[in-house]
Amino acid sequence: MTIYPWQQAQWQQLTRQRRQNRLAHALLFEGPAGTGKKQCARELAHALLCTQTADDGSACGGCDACKLIAAGTHPDLHLLLPTPPASSTSSNPVLSIKIDALRAMYRALSETSQFGGYRVAVIEDADKMPVQAANSLLKTLEEPGENTLLILVSSHPHRLPVTIRSRCQSTRFQVPDTETAASWLAEGGISQVGNALKLAHGAPLRAKDYIEHHAEQRELLVKALNAATRGEASIHYAQKLAQMPRDYLLAWLLDWVSDIGRLLTCGEATELVNEDQRAVLEARARTADKARVFSLHDHIISLLKAEGIALNPQLLWENLLISFENL
Ligand SMILES: [Zn+2]
């Protein structure tokens, strides 16, 4: 079972509710990205379908239901993820939950369970649902079938319509303290954590993902920003940045610009996210205009919120680099 050390309280509460038949028909797992919400949702779904759950409330892994789950063929388990547009050839496509997939899920949930037990659906990144899909979800939430459970997972629950949020029982996940996160990473063989936990704002899975897959990408962004700080042209980096995951890059850029803002308002004693780049950030802050820094900061936030909108990535990065040069 993969219930992370920092999720024990949530898991125990859900297990208690399940055993007392007090689970709501719809749950919302919310909290920062990289805290393992999806994993926990799947574990709960498996536990509901397993016919011989273990003492800690987890699926046994050995019964017929568990074998079907492992093979990805359990007829009462439905997993929905955001997918790219069918025609997309982009290396960095906009992902969304397709209404057809949702409808197929509703149909399956309204049919009788194949095994006489629960029917469970997990919708990951539920905030990536178009409005039309969200509206159709409401009906399912208002008239849940017998023995059905719907688990919505979201790192941006405020983007879900309030009509949906209010019909779900919320379970909140938080980032653990640094020590818990670092010891979990060490158990997984990562002893050189460096700045990764800071960059991930304490979220252990995001830090792990960063160390294993994204460190080089941030390095390139840092190179581009350092070139701009030295007064050199940085725009030629746009082409490469455009091919990388937008949400990660924007989040790092936001931290970078926030750090400059912090230096401008709080002085050099302030703590920074990019502590490993303090010297260059201080240099940039010395010549930066406060109003421009905050305006770029707000612009990046608006871009992060617009993650579902396709933008020309090359133009996006050219504009951002020019704005950064002109701070
Ligand atoms: Zn089992």
Equal fold, 5-174 vs 199-325: no
Query: Is residue 39 scored above 90 in pLDDT?
Result: yes
Give the CA angle between residues 77, 79, 85 to the nearest 5°.
150
Q: Which amino acid is at 262?
A: R
Q: pTM for the full model?
A: 0.88
pLDDT bracket for residue 1 (50, 70, 90): low
How many beta carbons lie within 10 A of that of residue 180, not counting itself?
15
d(CA 119, ligand 1 centre) in Å: 15
**Does domain 199-325 correspond to CATH entry 1.25.40?**
no
Query: Is residue 139 scored above 90 in pLDDT?
Result: no
Q: Are the C-beta atoms of 204 and 66 separated by less than 8 Å?
A: no
d(CA 65, ligand 1 centre) in Å: 6
Residues 6+ apart with CB under 8 A from 128: 82, 95, 96, 97, 308
d(CA 125, ligand 1 centre) in Å: 26
Please give the pLDDT value at position 194: 80
The environment of the single-atom ion ligand 1, i.e. residues with CB closer than 5 A, is: 50, 59-60, 63, 66
What are φ and ψ of residue 169, in 5° steps? Answer: -85, 125
pLDDT bracket for residue 255 (50, 70, 90): very high
Homologous superfamily, domain 5-174:
P-loop containing nucleotide triphosphate hydrolases (3.40.50.300)
d(CA 20, ligand 1 centre) in Å: 19
d(CA 53, ligand 1 centre) in Å: 6
Averaged pLDDT for residues 207-215: 92
Averaged pLDDT for residues 102-119: 81
Averaged pLDDT for residues 90-99: 79
Averaged pLDDT for residues 140-166: 88
d(CA 67, ligand 1 centre) in Å: 7
Averaged pLDDT for residues 50-73: 92
**Residues 282-301: tens digit of each pLDDT:** 999 998 999 999 999 999 99
Q: Tell me which residue of 56, 55, 54, 52 sits closest to 64, measured CA to CA.
A: 52
- Every domain of the chain and the residues it spans: 5-174, 199-325
Q: Tell me which residue of 231, 225, 223, 193 sits closest to 209, measured CA to CA.
A: 193
Query: Is residue 69 scored above 80 in pLDDT?
Result: yes
| Tokens found for residue 58 | 């987890």
d(CA 14, ligand 1 centre) in Å: 17
CA distance 222 to 231: 14
d(CA 54, ligand 1 centre) in Å: 8
pLDDT bracket for residue 200 (50, 70, 90): very high
Residue whose entry in the numeric block shows the structure tokens 């030295």: 230
| Tokens found for residue 159 | 């983007």
d(CA 29, ligand 1 centre) in Å: 23
Which one is predicted more confidently, 27 or 147? 27
Q: Tell me which residue of 117, 161, 133 sits closest to 28, measured CA to CA.
A: 161
Averaged pLDDT for residues 85-106: 81
Please give the pLDDT value at position 65: 94
Averaged pLDDT for residues 193-212: 92
Alpha-carbon dihedral 238, 240, 241, 247, rounded to 10 degrees = 150
pLDDT bracket for residue 138 (50, 70, 90): confident
Averaged pLDDT for residues 104-115: 79
Averaged pLDDT for residues 312-322: 91
Exposed, middle or buried by CB within 10 Å (0-12, 13-18, 19+), for 42? Answer: buried
Quote the percentage of the chain above a pLDDT of 70: 99
Pairing status of strand 77-80 against strand 169-172? unpaired
d(CA 206, ligand 1 centre) in Å: 30
Rounded to whole angstroms, the maximal C-alpha distance in the chain is 68
CA distance 170 to 172: 6
